[in-house]
Amino acid sequence: MSFVNFKKKEVQLKIVYYGPGMSGKTTNLQVIHRMINPTARGDLTSVATSGERTLFFDFMPLVAQAFEGYETRFQLYTVPGQVIYNLTRRLVLRGVDGMVFVADSQWSKMAENAESLANLADNLALQRERLGDIPCVLQYNKRDVPDATPLHYLEYLLNNRDVQLPTFNAVATTGEGVFETLNMIARLVLHRFLAVNKHKEDGVRELVLV
Amino acid sequence: MSRTLNENTSNELHRTLCDLLVLSEADDCLLCDTGGYVLAREGDGDHDPYQMAALGAGVYGASRELARLLGEREFNVVLHQGTQKSIFICAVHADALLVIVFSQNASAGLVKLYAKPAAVAVRALLEDARRLAMEAEDLAGHPLVLNRAGPLFRAGP
Ligand SMILES: Nc1nc2c(ncn2[C@@H]2O[C@H](COP(=O)(O)OP(=O)(O)O)[C@@H](O)[C@H]2O)c(=O)[nH]1
Ligand SMILES: [Mg+2]
The full set of domains in chain B, from first to last, is 7-138 (3.30.450.30)
In a domain, A210, yes or no: no
Q: Which residues of chain B have pLDDT under 70?
A: 1, 133-142
Give exposure, A111-131, as e/b (b: 16+ Cβ within 10 Å): ebbeebbebbeebbeeeeeeb
Chain A residues closer than 8 Å to B7 by CB:
6-7
Q: β-strands A10-18, A98-104: how paired?
A: parallel
Closest partner residue to B37 among A3, A57, A204, by Cβ? Answer: A3
Mean pLDDT of A87-112: 95
- Report pLDDT digits (tens) over A52-99: 566 688 999 999 999 988 999 999 999 988 777 888 889 899 999 999
- Taking residues A2-28, report their average pLDDT: 93
The CA A178 to ligand 1 mean position distance, Å, reads: 12
CB proximity list for A143: less than 8 A, separation 6 or greater: A105, A169, A170, A171, A176, A177
User: Residues B79, B59: contact at Cβ < 8 Å?
Assistant: no
Q: Which domain holds residue A109?
A: 3-205
What's the A80 CA to ligand 2 centre distance in angstroms? 6
Q: How many residues does chain A have?
A: 210
pLDDT of residue B141: 61
Spacing, Cα A23 to ligand 2 middle (Å): 8
Task: Please say whether the beta carbons of A202 and B138 come within 8 A.
Answer: no
Chain A residues closer than 8 Å to B5 by CB: 3-7
Distance CA A82, CA B15 (A): 44
The total number of structural domains that make up chain A: 1
Residues 6+ apart with CB under 8 A from B109: none
Ligand 1 site residues (CB inside 6 A) read A 19, 21-27, 54, 78, 81, 141-142, 144-145, 171-173
**What is d(CA A6, CA A70) in angstroms, rounded to the nearest whole number?**
9
Query: Residue B98, SS3?
Result: strand
**CATH number for the domain that contains residue A37:** 3.40.50.300
pLDDT at position A84 is 75
Q: Is the pLDDT of residue A209 over 80?
A: no
ipTM over 0.85: no
| Residue A93 lies inside a defined structural domain of this protein | yes
Handedness of CA A92, A96, A102, A103 (dihedral sign): positive
From B1, B5, B38, residue closest to A7, measured CB to CB:
B5
Contact yes or no for A81/A54 (Cβ under 8 A): yes
